[in-house]
Amino acid sequence: MAPASIHLITAAPLGAPSILEIVEAILAALPGDAVAVQLRARTASGRTLTAVAERLASIARSHGARLLVNDRADVALAARADGVHLRRDSASVAEMRALGVGTVGVSTHSVEDVRQAARDGADYVVFGPVFESPGKGPPVGLAALERAARVGPPVFALGGVTEHNVRDCLRAGSAGVACIRAVFGASDPVSAARRLFEALGS
């Protein structure tokens, strides 16, 4: 299965307004096969996270999109999600494969991180921060993104990505972009996601 053009990493609370409503509205506005939703909720209990993941998996499937769960293979399997996304200090790709998880992606912050993820057999990597982004540390820049994109697994640019610089990411070899603040931090997440998608194809 080819990676999506946009990875939407959830940042909104699981409560009201419901992340389910926001994601469903976004997926209704975009071609589903171009989107992967990455469920990130570090403070949620396993029970709450599983309940949300089950609903999100159903929503994603109905729109032809995919759902990835951050770190929690147990939640991904219980919800019949499409895979997991790992931090650098999470369980290994091999451990995820042994559990029967589908797609496995890894967060990376340097070209060497990407090389290690490739050696480990990751299906894709998220790389960044490419641009300035609050709380994400110094940006690695487009030159590093270009080097990372040559390593092997599809690379998705993260960090400070907006509709105004996504084409720069694609020219550097990125397979797409991963977004948190640009979409879920917007006053109108649906419009923000639509503009981002349109910029990717312009």
Q: How many domains does the chain have?
A: 1
Antiparallel, parallel or unpaired: β 176-179 and 83-86: unpaired
Closest by alpha carbon to 20, among 34, 1, 37, 33? 37
Domain hosting residue 63, numbered range: 6-201
In a domain, 172, yes or no: yes
If you average pLDDT over residues 174-197, what whole number do you get?
94
Q: Which pLDDT belongs to residue 108?
A: 96
Closest by alpha carbon to 59, among 40, 31, 77, 32? 32
**Tens-place pLDDT, residues 124-166:** 999 999 999 887 789 999 999 999 999 989 999 999 999 999 9
- Bigger pLDDT: 159 vs 201: 159
In a domain, 22, yes or no: yes
- Ranges assigned E (strand) in the chain: 6-9, 35-39, 66-70, 83-86, 103-108, 124-127, 155-158, 176-179
**Tens-place pLDDT, residues 27-75:** 999 998 999 999 998 788 888 899 999 999 999 999 999 999 999 999 9
Q: Which pLDDT belongs to residue 1?
A: 47
The enclosing domain of 197 has a CATH number of: 3.20.20.70
- Per the CB < 8 A criterion, the answer to whether 41 and 49 are in contact is yes
Q: Which pLDDT belongs to residue 132?
A: 92
What pTM did the predictor assign? 0.93
**Tens-place pLDDT, residues 75-118:** 999 999 999 999 988 889 999 999 999 999 999 999 999 999 99
Q: Which pLDDT belongs to residue 15?
A: 62
- Per the CB < 8 A criterion, the answer to whether 52 and 22 are in contact is no
Structure-token pair, residue 144: 């590093």
- Per the CB < 8 A criterion, the answer to whether 4 and 33 are in contact is yes
Distance of CA 30 to the CA centre of its chain: 16
Q: Which pLDDT belongs to residue 18?
A: 85
Q: Which pLDDT belongs to residue 153?
A: 94
Given pLDDT bands bounded at 50, 70 and 90, which one contains residue 11? confident
In a domain, 1, yes or no: no
Q: How many Å is the Cα radius of gyration of the chain?
A: 16
Structure-token pair, residue 124: 């894709």
* Site of tokens 């084409």: 167
